[in-house]
A = this chain, B = another copy of it.
Amino acid sequence: MRPGLSRGAVSLAIMTSGSATLGYIQGQVGQALKDFLQRQRPVLLGASDELRPGLDALSGLLAGGKRLRPAFCYWGWRGAGGEDCPQILAAAAALELLHASALVHDDVMDGSDSRRGQPSLHRQFAALHAARHWNGSAQSFGVAAGILLGDLLLAWTDQMFQASGLPAGALRRGQPVLDLMRTEVMAGQYLDLLGQAAGDETVASALRVVEYKTARYTIERPLQLGAALAQGRGSATAAAYGLPLGVAFQLRDDILGLFGDPAQTGKPSGDDVREGKRTVLLAITRVRASAQQAAIIDRLLGDPHLDEDGVAEVRAVITGTGALAECELMIERHVATALSALDAAPITNEAKAALAELAITATARRG
């Protein structure tokens, strides 16, 4: 059993709440997104029927995803005393549009081929271009379509948030948190890019990127947004629970990216290595590596054509240095810190139970 799970209220609540919680939110958020897309259809198809492939691609992308950010937003709201209602679910669902936008643009920037088990959006449009034998470069067309569709998703974030039906006062309280969340994630992405370019391999630098790009963006700010919408002062809880959990979440993601089942992650195994991503897992590997092991990482990291044997070689170094075990331990410790913060938080017991469950779900071993 993971540390932290033996704590009073939280462990009891986990045992009784089951996994229905996230499932409920996933269902509601999925429906809210479908309804939103349905309302955009006449606007886009009114301009031209040629926008249908764009709409279809967005529908496909938005059908997937674990809905973690909406779930944290929803439980931030509930934890501060807000009632379950369609309005908070619609506002929370808007975070999926933001996230989908980030994924589409990320895939363009990284040149990624797949996302959520399907071809990435820019690849879908490059394929459309090729199939129709259009003029010019299919790749450039795909990139441009990806940029535009990501922009549309980003613009829709506010539209869906503002049209959620929450009272004006709630939206006014939530807006600055949403603002901060977007600026921070873009700052984190730029720092990630920069660190990769500048060859900054330190654990500290990788952790700073994780803080901005994942911990705040995925957990702290969504929780805080929900609390702000419900007029709660959720900042302290959001940070104390969200930051360590966010680090644990990203570490699990790093591990799954190399050791997970592609059928479950929706991405080919080892893409982080091919893209030369400076993950915390790799930064820790470097710290623990012998000269010989470091040379292997240096040789293989960032090779876009790395095959399965090469990826296996990287895996062997990560395991051999003990970095994998250290990361698993870090995940356990960070989850324990998050759960401990949760125990002390001034929020409802129901929210504590749900957030404890989310902490486990978001960081569980899979694949």
Interface residues of A, Cβ cutoff 8 Å to B: 40, 43-44, 47-48, 50-51, 54, 101, 105, 108-109, 129, 132, 134-136, 140-141, 143-145, 147-152, 154-156, 158-159, 162-163, 168-169, 172, 175-176, 179-180, 182-184, 186-191, 193-194, 196-199, 208, 212, 276, 302
Contacts and interface: CB of A to CB of B under 8 A. Distances in A.
6 contacts: A51-B190, A109-B143, A132-B198, A136-B197, A145-B193, A152-B182
Contacts of A149: 190
Contacts of A109: 140, 143-144, 147-148
Contact of A43 (B47, B50, B159, B183): B183
B183 A44 contact: yes
Contacts of A105: 147-148, 151
B155 A47 contact: no
**Which of A109, A129, A188, A196 has the most chain B CB atoms inside 10 A of its CB?**
A109
Contact of A51 (B134, B172, B175, B191): B191
Contacts of A179: 155, 158-159, 162-163
A134 B47 contact: no
A4 to B, nearest CB: 29
A183 B147 contact: no
A187 B144 contact: no
Copies in the complex: 2
Contacts of A163: 175-176, 179
Given A105-B151, A155-B179, A162-B179, 17 more contacts: A40-B183, A47-B187, A48-B187, A50-B191, A129-B197, A134-B197, A136-B196, A136-B276, A148-B193, A151-B151, A152-B183, A154-B154, A155-B182, A155-B186, A158-B158, A162-B172, A163-B175
A108 B147 contact: yes
B101 A151 contact: yes
**Which of A132, A151, A193, A198 has the most chain B CB atoms inside 10 A of its CB?**
A151
Nearest to A167: B168
Closest CB pairs A-B (n = 3): A134-B197, A155-B182, A109-B144
Contacts of A151: 101, 105, 150-151, 154, 186
Nearest to A155: B182
A302 B197 contact: no
Given A135-B196, A197-B135, A302-B136, A172 B168 contact: yes
Nearest to A105: B147
Contacts of A183: 40, 43-44, 152, 155-156, 159
Nearest to A48: B191
A312 to B, nearest CB: 24
Contact of A190 (B43, B54, B136, B193): B54
